[in-house]
A and B are shown apart, each in its own frame.
Chain A
Amino acid sequence: MKLKVIVLLTAIFFFVTIAAAEEWAGADEKAEEVIGDIAPDYEPWFSPIFEPPSGEIESLLFSLQAAIGSLIIGYIIGYYRGTRYARNA
């Protein structure tokens, strides 16, 4: 069951990666282009207080976000498993 899912996800991933070999920009950037078409005069009236100084640092912060999340999930699932095991022992 798990193997099937992994194979399926990998297949989807490769399919989408090969299907369109253009730049992989974020969809939000494409939306920004659309705004530029509709309202060419619009100027953002507020800018981010802090912006990651480079793409690498942005990736670092994104991976940190994912790491925090997976750490919490892993810890608690392990805890549940442990309590269940202790109860049944």
Chain B
Amino acid sequence: MHIMEGFLPPFWAAVWYAFSLPIVGYGTYRAKKEIEKNPKNKSLLAVAAGFIFVLSALKIPSVTGSCSHPTGTGIAVVLFGPAITAFLSIIVLLYQALLLAHGGLTTLGANTASMGIVGPFVGWLIYRAIKGKTSIKVSTFVAAAVADWVTYVVTSIQLALAFPAGAGVAGVIASATKFLAVFSVTQIPLAIIEGIVAALLMGYLVQIRDDLSVEVAA
């Protein structure tokens, strides 16, 4: 799903870098604060990062006949919120850009914006809204699935902005529809799978760390 190297014109590459870098910086600062606040959080941060590593490495076939992969940001969003998720996502995106030619350095800003910032942020808003009204498993499922799916919607919009099919807003919308046709349908089953896996892991984490349920619910 990541926009490939060189596939965003320099102007848009710069715009998305300008958008993402301050948030990643803030997330890094927040991650440091969380560890200072409670050294136990270091291991939780690692679990959240590990989850992104695993899930975003899985290329899963989907209903539309193409493969795509989940994002794995759900656990990080539920445990630490969207800013720290941005910091963790950029680590994974760098690995994939440098070693796998998957995504890229010029598109790193845009890919961080979709997978690390906007998708998780929307997932987090919905998580905040339903948290406490339902079980931790259900709210994690919803947060993870939404964060995953919105990531691909954002990617479609980013590509449409860079490659409008015509002049003005109408051109952007026409393009966005085309990219959404590729990404959004493919991603629905994968978002559901990601939600289930994230909910299972979260349920287990709460079970083996008694103190965690208090923090997550707070």
Contact = CB atoms under 8 A, between A and B. Distances in A.
Contact of A5 (B3, B96, B105, B196): B196
Contacts of A63: 57
Given A44-B5, A72-B50, 7 more contacts: A31-B179, A48-B104, A52-B101, A58-B100, A65-B57, A65-B92, A73-B201
Given A25-B67, A77-B208, A46 B58 contact: no
A76 B53 contact: no
Interface in A47-89: 47-52, 58, 61-63, 65-66, 68-73, 76-77, 79-81, 84
B7 A35 contact: yes
B178 interface: yes
A39 to B, nearest CB: 5
Contact of B4 (A22, A32, A38, A73): A32
Interface of A: 2, 5, 8-9, 12-13, 16-17, 19-20, 22-32, 34-35, 37-39, 42, 44-52, 58, 61-63, 65-66, 68-73, 76-77, 79-81, 84
B104 to A, nearest CB: 6
Interface string B4-39: 111101100000000000000000000000000000
A25 B64 CA distance: 10
Interface residues of B, number: 65
Given A38-B175, A65-B95, A28 B2 contact: yes
Most buried by A among B59, B97, B99, B178: B99
B47 A72 contact: yes
A42 to B, nearest CB: 7
A45 B10 contact: yes
Given A5-B200, A50-B99, A69 B50 contact: yes
Interface in B30-72: 43-44, 46-47, 49-59, 61-68
The DSSP consensus for interface residues of chain A is helix
A58 B106 CA distance: 20
7 contacts: A16-B61, A17-B61, A20-B63, A48-B5, A65-B100, A72-B46, A72-B53
Given A16-B61, A16-B189, A65-B95, A44 B178 contact: no
Contacts of B100: 52, 58, 61-62, 65
A84 B109 CA distance: 41
Contacts of B99: 50, 52, 61
